[in-house]
Structures are given as C-alpha cells and as structure tokens.
Copies of this chain bind each other. A is one copy, B any other.
C-alpha cells in the first residue's frame, strides 16, 4: 500500500528506530521523543521526524511518541506483521552462532531451513533443525515459499550460493561473506561486515601525531 516512493536511505533507518524503541519498551518506558531517539542513535531529531512523516503523523506536538504505538506502526511499515521464515546456508562457526542467536526471537524472524554441503554435517541436528544438503535448496525453498536467506559460507562460495538462492525464489539476502554479490535488481542484499563498523569508529580514535 505504498503510495509514494520512500528513499531507501530513509527505509534503512527505520529498523534502527524500531530497535531503539524496543530497547525503551524493555526498560519499561511508555513515551519517548524524537530528541531522545536521536540522542540514542547519534542522529538529528529533525531527520527522525522527517523520516517518520513519510508514513503519516505519529505522536502529538509537545507530548512525544507512544513507545508501543510507534513500535506497532513501524512493524506494520516494515512488513513485520507476519513472521518470516529464513533459510541459512553454511553451518560453520558463524552459522552455528546464528542458529543460537537470541536476537531473532520476537523480532519477526525464525530460522526454518539450514543448509550445508559438507557430508559430515548433513543430517545432523542443531537448534532443533536438521542440516539439509545444499543441493536441496532448489526444491525446499520454493516448497516452503521462503523469501529470505542468510549466507554464511566461505567467500569463494558465496556468489554461487546466491545464484542458487535467487533461482529458488529468494528476494532478500543477508550476506556475511566479505564479497560483493551480483544479483538481479528485484533482489535485496544486506551486508554484515564488521570492517564497516570498525572503520566508522576509527574516525573518532586518536590519530598519530604528525
């Protein structure tokens, strides 16, 4: 039901707002403000108000936002009113960490299929799920109607895996491999790259004396 095209840079900030609101809710807070959200996120309050204004009118002048109300609105905007099943490809150290990750719970996502191409891993159970042969991606992903996958394979295998996932109907890929994936325009890729975060922070660290 999107009527105007919202810039992706705006969309990219909404999950940060939602996460911060969820932290506030866990702290028992009922009301917040663009100023408080901005401070917690290192952003500008005017930008937060402008971003939200793409989607309607939230909160009341001088009274702030209802934490619960804004959480509900953002979940609706971000298409999180259903739970999304996610396929994970690559059950190495990182894959295992993701299977046990406590951050997916109640956030709208559930790992539903695990794949690996290592015969010694196929058939093993982890976190209540059986590790399936990656060769079954083209069969199982369309059967389950899964649209989201996480790539946690070695970098040299990532593009090949992405190609198979896209052919199987995946439209959103969370990529942990440190390589740039080529995908068709209808497929979104989000990179999880610790180096990006580290390099953001080094800007603020002491510089060598000149």
A residues near B, CB below 8 A? 1, 7-9, 11-12, 14-16, 18-20, 23, 40, 42-44, 47, 77-82, 84, 86, 92-94, 96-98, 100-104, 107-109, 147-148, 150, 154-155, 171-172, 174, 178, 180, 188, 190-208, 210
Q: A172-B198, A172-B204 are in contact. List 14 more A-B contacts (CB 8 A).
A: A8-B43, A9-B43, A16-B196, A79-B202, A81-B208, A92-B97, A97-B97, A102-B154, A103-B194, A104-B194, A108-B199, A109-B198, A171-B205, A190-B197
B103 touches A97 (CB 8 A): no
Closest B residue, CB atoms, query A196: B15
Contact A178 B101 (CB under 8 A): yes
22 sample A-B contacts, Cβ–Cβ < 8 Å, listed by A number: A7-B44, A11-B204, A12-B200, A15-B196, A19-B193, A19-B196, A20-B180, A78-B199, A93-B93, A93-B94, A93-B97, A94-B94, A98-B194, A101-B178, A103-B193, A108-B199, A109-B198, A150-B194, A171-B204, A172-B204, A188-B204, A192-B192
Contact assessment for B94 and A202 in the assembled complex, using a CB-CB cutoff below 8 Å: no
**Residue among B7, B15, B42, B150 making CB contact with A200, cutoff 8 Å:** B15
Q: How far is the CA of A103 from the CA of B176 in the complex (A)?
A: 10
Contact A107 B195, beta carbon cutoff 8 Å: yes
In the assembly, what is the distance between CA of A188 and CA of B188, in Å? 29
**Assembly stoichiometry (copies):** 2
Main secondary structure of the interface of A (DSSP, over half): mixed
Contacts of A102 on B, CB cut-off 8 Å? 154-155, 178
Query: A20: which B residues are within 8 A, CB to CB?
Result: 180
A171-B206 Cα distance, complex, nearest whole Å: 10
Determine the distance from Cα of A93 to Cα of B98 in the docked complex, in whole angstroms. 9
Nearest CB in chain B to that of A204: its residue: B188
Given A107-B195, A194-B103, A203 contacting B147 (CB threshold 8 A) = no
A94 CB → nearest B CB, Å: 4
